[in-house]
Amino acid sequence: MNTNTVLLYSIPSEIVIYNIIPNIGIEGIVKFSKVTKIFHKHRNKIYSYFIINDRFLNRYIKFFHINLIRTISESSFSYNHFDEIYDFIKYGGKNKFKNKFEIAAKKEQNHINNTFIIFKLLKCSVDSQISKKEVNRIKSTKNTIFCNMLSYFESMYFSRNTSNHSYTSFLKNENTFWERSNINLYNICENINLMYNEKNSDIFENNLLNFNNAIVSNNGYNIMSTSILIENIFNDDSCPIKVSIFAYYTIFKYLNYMFHSKLEKGFINNTKFTNSSIKTLEGYEQSFHSIYKHFVSVSFQKNILQEISLYKQNIENKI
């Protein structure tokens, strides 16, 4: 037993929990829970007290029902990496954080989703932690988080697939509210790339079947924001036609899944949104029959027509 451990034993656990824990970060909490049996026994209390003392984390975690330690541990973030970025957001500093992802070991969808969730949390924290007067710091911090996310997306894509496509070229504007997306944007980008590569057609088809695995939040909130966001990001005149094809497919696939999950109340009563979605669907269907079907495989054509038909039925049953 080293000197530091002896010193910790001599400090009442209440003092440690209430006076030290709020300032040690997630990595410190995890380490503390392993130091002594008493701290391990009270690890949930220690974690809770840390969260309670951070106004942003307390609200965010309660709203989305996140266990931050578990989410980080099952992501491509390390505890230290998260603390480093979060401290940078809260306190600033001359040295910007660098990308430190353990890509090779964490390619499973669950880890990809959790990594995207952490990026969303960090982006949301900026407006809460930085004074509105610090316009330049807000902008530069959001841009740094965005660039880190793009770097992660690219590294993840090339670790999972064999391709030479310009992977992140679809995500150009860091000023979009991408943190409001309930769908993991990584999966959309990956699938768009896979559409261009016939060698990976089997992977693409498998991804379509497992669409719901890419939904990182299914609590009924941000449904409209998610749909609008995807359209704004991927429906660009400079993007290839296949990008728009998949973007609109994703939107209606997602909205149909909301009906399936009985979460349509999040948008069905918004007449402006539903009317706009129907108009968009009609334009999408018309473009599909006249242009789009020539750009995608026969199997994917069936998927698109199925989602178009299903969305019409779902809307008709609710109106």
- The pLDDT confidence band at residue 4, using thresholds 50, 70 and 90, is very low
Average pLDDT over every residue of 135-148 = 92
CB 227 within 8 A of CB 257: no
**How far is it, in rounded angstroms, from Cα 152 to Cα 147?**
9
- The pLDDT confidence band at residue 119, using thresholds 50, 70 and 90, is very high
Calculate what percentage of the chain has a pLDDT beyond 90: 61
Whether 18 maps to a domain, the answer reads: no
Q: What is the token pair recorded at 314?
A: 């779902």
The pLDDT score that the predictor gives to residue 229 is 95
Average pLDDT over every residue of 277-302 = 95
Whether 238 maps to a domain, the answer reads: yes
Q: Which residue has the higher pLDDT, 293 or 172?
A: 293
The pLDDT score that the predictor gives to residue 161 is 81
The pLDDT score that the predictor gives to residue 237 is 76
Q: Mean pLDDT, the chain, as a whole number?
A: 86
Summarised one tens digit per residue, pLDDT across range 239-274 is 789 999 999 999 999 999 999 999 999 999 999 999
Whether 137 maps to a domain, the answer reads: no
Calculate what percentage of the chain has a pLDDT beyond 70: 84
Summarised one tens digit per residue, pLDDT across range 64-114 is 999 999 999 999 999 999 999 999 998 887 666 667 777 667 889 999 999
Whether 207 maps to a domain, the answer reads: yes
Summarised one tens digit per residue, pLDDT across range 157-195 is 888 887 766 667 778 777 789 999 999 999 999 999 888
Q: Look at the chain and report how many structural domains it folds into.
A: 1
- Whether the pLDDT of residue 1 is over 60: the answer is no
Q: pTM (2 decimals)?
A: 0.88
Average pLDDT over every residue of 122-127 = 96
The pLDDT score that the predictor gives to residue 6 is 44
The pLDDT score that the predictor gives to residue 141 is 92
- The pLDDT confidence band at residue 36, using thresholds 50, 70 and 90, is low
- Whether the pLDDT of residue 3 is over 50: the answer is no
Whether 200 maps to a domain, the answer reads: yes
- The pLDDT confidence band at residue 13, using thresholds 50, 70 and 90, is low
The pLDDT score that the predictor gives to residue 33 is 65
Whether 285 maps to a domain, the answer reads: yes
Whether 302 maps to a domain, the answer reads: yes
Whether 149 maps to a domain, the answer reads: no
Q: Which residue has the higher pLDDT, 88 or 319?
A: 88
Containing domain of residue 287, as a range? Answer: 165-187+196-319
